[in-house]
Structure 1
């Protein structure tokens, strides 16, 4: 019997501490805690890592505090285009959807794509129709819209007009949610979901639905879910790179994950972070921004959540 472990992130696009009232930070941490509880309940009952990561991501897709599902970012046309993926480290099977507009919980659709086995990635209206045919919840596009994302889109358009987009805060730019888990059978899984970044070009696809970039899991090594400027996560195949450093160089999880996020991506001066869990139950959550919504449960069952440098133990 293996140890069990779980880690989540709600994106590295975290606002400065003074940008929200303390009660809003408290609410965001409460939803991180609920996400951990959902995934941990699955693992603690002997369930699979795959079910656990889906359960955790579902909570964050339904929360307005994170850029996935309800509360997702708006593209340059003021529309939502949602991405998600999930991967089973036991078989290396994976499923993903991209540019979805009506799927209430894109992670559920990604799971169905994986289970059908006819494709790894479905996009656009075909992803929406697939989800509808599978009986998943379909919503009107404005379901996903929140006032916070409307303001963020306006801010990014203002930056674009002024030529100051590179100076925009991480909160104005992007965000993602994800989960990684190790179950009692020793299997690993990862799941990631996002609305992309605010004011992104219509039709843009980032790293979240790209297996090996924003999401990766391989039994015996690690599971990874990333957050940040997706174009660079694709170029560096970040999820696979972390696993490769461990597999080929013999690095432990913390060193491999930190090398990729802090060192490899440094020349590009982009916001980036990830959560990862190794086959031994160790957890890593490096990031290079002011903060990253994140949380984890140790193999001993201790819960922790954080937004910036301060880490809160929760029960």
Structure 2
């Protein structure tokens, strides 16, 4: 993790945690970034075979490459995260779409959400039972309905009306997920033992126009009951995007992410930090009686550095842990940063940026 660079009381241009947007990218470059996740939890080397490790990394690399290809070609952030999440939903290794876990009643109830940071439009679905790719249904709610969230039978009906691909229950019945629910129902293991990792998937991105987007998709908790809904479809808890601050997708113990409003909280703290930085910069500049430069800062030409962004994300995840929550988030910022923060032993994750940096990781001791 990064360390935060403290701003000294006597401010100089070098000491401030900002730069102008124009200076933040090369003249001839298309600036973009993307981060993805496939769940966080007790993901440790002794719990994953080398073969499964390789399989997960291959899936993460494929999803990251898909989103990166779209962004590199000048595509928008919404298209990039949608295509990325569809690939992850189609992979049975993750608890979303094809790999969704079973409820107590041995059914599948899937949740998803998506948000566009350019206009704060959003769509979400909860408890859907027959849509192959719930992220496409969340996108349809955003784009083709007057609502933000649909649930249960109504969401299923809307999905059919939109012509989205439907599947029968056997589509989700992967051997691994069936064994998990059967073991729980037979009380051979506890739900906690089964869900040693959270397989929720998500993606966040910034495109070459500076627009942000975030999306999250999940099958929820193994053996969940009574129509339980976690944070994944809750805008502000599991998903949030705002061009003025960041894009966030979360994974983990959903009840705690909802209580803290994790996704929105991180974006809000970034906006507050930006405002404070602007004010401090203005004061420093006005002391030198340079009104013209002070006005430029009021126009929003400020960015936070890597250390400041990481510190904010880490602080919120630390607070999540203080109330008993486990999990993590991925983030993208308007300045091309992409990263993550988590308080679990591992997290399936990856990130790529237009400067050529790209990586996927699983365990906590990896970058």
TM-score higher than 0.5: yes
Q: CA deviation at 1:39?
A: 0.7
**Contact map agreement 1:2 1:186 (CA 8 A) in 2:** no
- Is 1:6 aligned to residue 62 of structure 2? no
Structure 1 SS opposite 2:341: coil
Query: Which residue in the other structure is 2:309 paired with?
Result: 253
Query: Which residue in the other structure is 1:298 paired with?
Result: 353
Query: Which residue in the other structure is 1:132 paired with?
Result: 160
**Contact map agreement 1:114 1:120 (CA 8 A) in 2:** yes
- Is 1:93 aligned to residue 148 of structure 2? no
**Contact map agreement 2:266 2:313 (CA 8 A) in 1:** yes
Change (3 A) 1:149 1:202: farther
Could you report, residue by residue, the CA deviation over 1:266-294 in whole angstroms, capped at 9, with x for unpaired residues?
A: 22333210100111111221111111000
Could you report, residue by residue, the CA deviation over 1:39-71 in whole angstroms, capped at 9, with x for unpaired residues?
A: 111101111001111011011000011000001
Deviates more, 1:176-185 or 1:9-18: 9-18
CA distance in 1, matches of 2:244, 2:207: 12
Q: Any stretches of 5+ residues in structure 2 without a counterpart?
A: 1-28, 275-303
Q: How many residues align?
A: 307
Normalising by structure 2, we get a TM-score of 0.79
Deviates more, 1:119-128 or 1:82-91: 119-128
Superposition RMSD on alpha carbons, in Å? 1.9
Q: CA deviation at 1:2?
A: 6.2
Query: Which residue in the other structure is 1:80 paired with?
Result: 108
Structure 1 SS opposite 2:363: coil
Query: Which residue in the other structure is 1:234 paired with?
Result: 258
Change (3 A) 1:104 1:129: same
**Contact map agreement 1:174 1:198 (CA 8 A) in 2:** no
Q: Any stretches of 5+ residues in structure 1 without a counterpart?
A: none
Q: CA deviation at 1:202?
A: 3.7
Structure 2 SS opposite 1:96: strand
Between structure 1 and structure 2, the one with the greater Rg is: 2
Q: CA deviation at 1:310?
A: 5.1
Structure 1 SS opposite 2:41: coil
Q: CA deviation at 1:237?
A: 0.7
**Contact map agreement 2:257 2:325 (CA 8 A) in 1:** no
Matching residue within 180, 186, 191 for 1:152: 180
Query: Which residue in the other structure is 1:51 paired with?
Result: 79
Residue pairs, 1:113-262, within 5 angstroms: 113-157=141-185, 168=193, 170-171=195-196, 174-250=198-274, 252-261=308-317
